[in-house]
Amino acid sequence: MNQFAMTIDGKDVQGEMPSSMVLNPANEQQAFLAPMASVAQLNKAVESAKTAYPNWSSLTQTKRDEYINKIADVIELNASVLASIIVEEQGKPTQLAQMEVGGAVAWTRHTASIEIPVEVYEDSENKRIEGRRKSIGVVGSITPWNWPLMIAIWHIIPALRMGNTVVLKPSELTPVNTLKLGQLLQDVLPAGVLNVISGGGDIGRAMSEHQQINKLVFTGSTPTGQNIMQAAATNLKRLTLELGGNDAGIVLPNADLDAITEGLFATAFINMGQTCAALKRLYVHESQHDELCQKLADIATKQVVGDGFGDGVTFGPVQNSAQLEKVIAMVDEANQQGAVIYSGGARLDKAGYFYPPTIIGNARSGMRVVEEEQFGPVLPVIKYKSVEQAITEANSVEVGLGGSLWGDVEQASELASQLECGSVWINGHAEVLPHAPFGGCKMSGFGVEFGLEGLLENSLLQVVNINK
């Protein structure tokens, strides 16, 4: 069964540590056995990336772009196998897994097409000062379990494009799609340019401390991001930290609920709510609260909850039992504290981590489901009396990834700057695109991904002073 291997120095490598069971969240049975790396194997992967670096970084941009477009071709050719692995280990419905693979291809191609300008700070008779971009060296990437293939691509493609070589470690909960990606790319990239190893937090920690890793890109929870930042001090690694969020959406007074309810539901429950920038708290004027909760619940109860491979299934399981337990506890607590459950509210009575989309009305500050990131299929709806109060409450959490305003575009546009977050969407939420930078503020991390700014984070600025 253990047909998936790590990729070190362009070759299949089995783990030196005992393999780990990867469960299918739709039936709680073993789906795969994944190899587990030892620290010695991490060191080999880093060594191999370091050896490959001089050649890779000295290729022309055109040549590297050719390689990157070949990566997109290979993902496209293997789209169905990759999507099927994602459904089996991550749980999302097939159509969403196919979207994830399609997104990975689109992101790869777009990233290869971004022009990298040379900045000219001065160009006078006697002097020219230019800002040029250099690669950094070996980039480490550590990914989470919610969008495993897409996030791996978000990390590795900009790093490779800028001339760095990579060591990638996926989440131990969903490693197989990424291991498969590494294996598929063995024939595409020169040996050592992309190494994929699997392991848990111990290997993540060893990567954060590693003296030969020059930059680390991390997507995951805020506490892990804090650990990484401390460990990265050993060699002052460059960091991009995309951490947790607890995004608020504010429905402005008198908004047309028929026009926005589908969008609110879709962006709150995308990937069963297991999306960093999903809508996680919804503020609505008290006069529209009951009507909006009911409209959202009407959409929720129409969802077909089941195994991602099932015909017509629109809503898969939660990815793992710890996440499911967290959601159950938060909803039960809110219920005891006087919230109203408009839909869902209990685990399905069958094998698999199934929890239907849950709309909680009469939620309020102080409830854990409002204060903390649920990262699951639940949306608390909170009443407000004034827009100022809604904005204050939206900003009251420690994290600041995204936020949204729904209703009149002009009013929303004026209010946008009052939200403390990295992205604001108006009449939308959770929309990330390869050409628009995305990143958080406060405890949601720092640095951005995507677009030119995201690409440049994978480079060092060198200022060249030319005295003519």
- Phi/psi of residue 141, nearest 5 degrees: -130, 130
Does 247 sit near ligand NAD (CB under 6 A)? Answer: no
Q: Which stretch binds ligand NAD (CB under 6 A): 188-196, 197-205, 283-291, 348-356?
A: 197-205
Helices 61-77 & 94-113 angle (0-180, nearest 10): 170
Cα–Cα distance for residue pair 192/60, rounded to 1 Å: 18
Cα–Cα distance for residue pair 373/352, rounded to 1 Å: 22
Q: Which stretch binds ligand NAD (CB under 6 A): 15-23, 203-211, 232-240, 457-465?
A: 203-211
Largest CA distance in the chain: 78
- Phi/psi of residue 345, nearest 5 degrees: 100, 0
Does 197 sit near ligand NAD (CB under 6 A)? Answer: no
Per CB under 6 A, contacts with ligand NAD among 280-309 are none
Candidate residues 137, 148, 244, 308; the one interacting with ligand NAD per rule CB under 6 A: 244
> Which residues, in sequence order, are bridge partners of residue 425?
404
Active-site residue, selected from the candidate residues 88, 89, 100, 242:
242
Q: Between 321 and 360, how does the x/- string for binding to ligand NAD read (CB under 6 A)?
A: ----------------------------------------
Given a contact cutoff of 8 angstroms between Cβ atoms, the answer to whether 110 and 434 are in contact is yes
Nearest distance from residue 350's CB to ligand NAD, in Å? 24
Contacts of 222 (CB under 8 A, 6+ apart): 243, 244, 398, 399, 443, 444, 445
Does 88 sit near ligand NAD (CB under 6 A)? Answer: no
Minimum CB distance to ligand NAD smaller for 362 or for 374: 374
276 catalytic, yes or no? yes
Minimum CB distance to ligand NAD smaller for 245 or for 361: 245
Candidate residues 96, 228, 391, 415; the one interacting with ligand NAD per rule CB under 6 A: 228
Does 255 sit near ligand NAD (CB under 6 A)? Answer: no
Q: Which stretch binds ligand NAD (CB under 6 A): 36-44, 200-208, 254-262, 412-420?
A: 200-208
Residue 190 DSSP symbol:
P
Minimum CB distance to ligand NAD smaller for 116 or for 233: 233
Per CB under 6 A, contacts with ligand NAD among 365-394 are 373, 375
Q: Which stretch binds ligand NAD (CB under 6 A): 23-31, 86-94, 169-177, 299-307?
A: 169-177
Active-site residue, selected from the candidate residues 276, 293, 393, 457:
276
Does 128 sit near ligand NAD (CB under 6 A)? Answer: no
Contacts of 368 (CB under 8 A, 6+ apart): 329, 330, 333, 334
C-alpha torsion sign, points 61, 63, 68, 69:
positive
Candidate residues 114, 166, 401, 448; the one interacting with ligand NAD per rule CB under 6 A: 401
Burial of 205 (0-12, 13-18, 19+ CB in 10 A): middle
- Find where tokens 């498969």 sit: 180
Q: Which stretch binds ligand NAD (CB under 6 A): 91-99, 201-209, 303-311, 410-418?
A: 201-209
Does 144 sit near ligand NAD (CB under 6 A)? Answer: yes
Helices 94-113 & 79-90 angle (0-180, nearest 10): 120
Does 276 sit near ligand NAD (CB under 6 A)? Answer: yes
- Phi/psi of residue 132, nearest 5 degrees: -110, 160
Total of chain residues touching ligand NAD, rule CB under 6 A: 28
Does 103 sit near ligand NAD (CB under 6 A)? Answer: no
Q: Is 124 helix (H, G, I), strand (E, B) or coil?
A: coil
441 catalytic, yes or no? no
Contacts of 4 (CB under 8 A, 6+ apart): 32, 34, 35, 175, 176, 179, 180, 183
Catalytic residue ranges: 242, 276
Query: What residues make contact with ligand NAD under the rule CB under 6 A?
Result: 142-146, 169, 171-172, 200-201, 204-205, 208, 219-221, 224, 227-228, 242-245, 276, 373, 375, 401, 440
